[in-house]
Amino acid sequence: MRALLGLDDDTAVMVRQLACTEPDCPPLETVVAVLPMEGEARRWTLRRSADQITEDDLRAALLTPEQHD
């Protein structure tokens, strides 16, 4: 994600794998959050475990609307 977005080293990227409890959701999902020093945080949820996510999956996530807390 850091490379795809051209992020600098001061921008935090958090990856969390969580149990999904929603109907029709796989057992695990992965949340990727980008937390810049300045500006608004961005977040994407990928409906698969972290070890299954590819660079193509990340590219596709970037094309979907961001999720905000």
Residue type, 69: D
Tell me the two tokens of residue 28: 């695990």
pLDDT at 54: 94
Query: The tokens of 2 are what?
Result: 């850091």
pLDDT of residue 68: 52
Burial class (CB in 10 A: 0-12, 13-18, 19+), 1: buried
| Segment 10-51, tens digit of pLDDT | 999 999 999 988 888 888 999 999 999 888 999 999 999 999
What pLDDT is attached to residue 63?
Answer: 86
Q: Where are the domains of the chain?
A: 2-63
d(CA 13, CA 50) in angstroms, rounded, equals: 14
